[in-house]
Amino acid sequence: MAELRQAYSRVADYLLRMAEKMPEDQYAFQPVPEIRTFAGTLGHTIDMQMRTCASITGSGAQAGASAMTGKAQLVAAMKAAMAECDKAFASLTDESAVQMTASARGGQRSKLGSLYGMVAHHNEEYGYLAIYLRLKGIVPPS
């Protein structure tokens, strides 16, 4: 759990720093019409994070970030999702991490598996969002 938490903390911090680095007027930036805007991609990532961690804490919290377009809203939603994940990670031990829980996408999954899936998803979304920043001449956090 300590290793997974470290991987999560690193990528979540990168995502938050990306959200903070992108200028407000670029949140609507969409490299091509077939993909989400920067705000849409970030919102999707935040919603997935909140769903995953809320399923582990049992809080049922939802971020609703996919519908948000403003920088301040999305940064605040990211911080709220990170706080929920802090609770989720703090509640688990190596032993309790293998307990089964309802997956954010339906079905059953171990708590460890759910969190690992979230970290993998975050890394994927970091890669996408890094391109958005680079296209705007901004060096992504790393």
Residue 104 is predicted with a pLDDT of 64
For residues 16 and 13, what is the distance between their CA atoms, to the nearest angstrom? 5
Tokens of 87: 């609770």
The list of the chain residues with pLDDT below 70 reads: 104
Q: What is the pTM of this model?
A: 0.95
For residues 10 and 3, what is the distance between their CA atoms, to the nearest angstrom? 11
Each residue of 87-96: b (16+ CB within 10 Å) or e? ebbeebeeee
CA 108 from chain center: how many Å?
Answer: 21
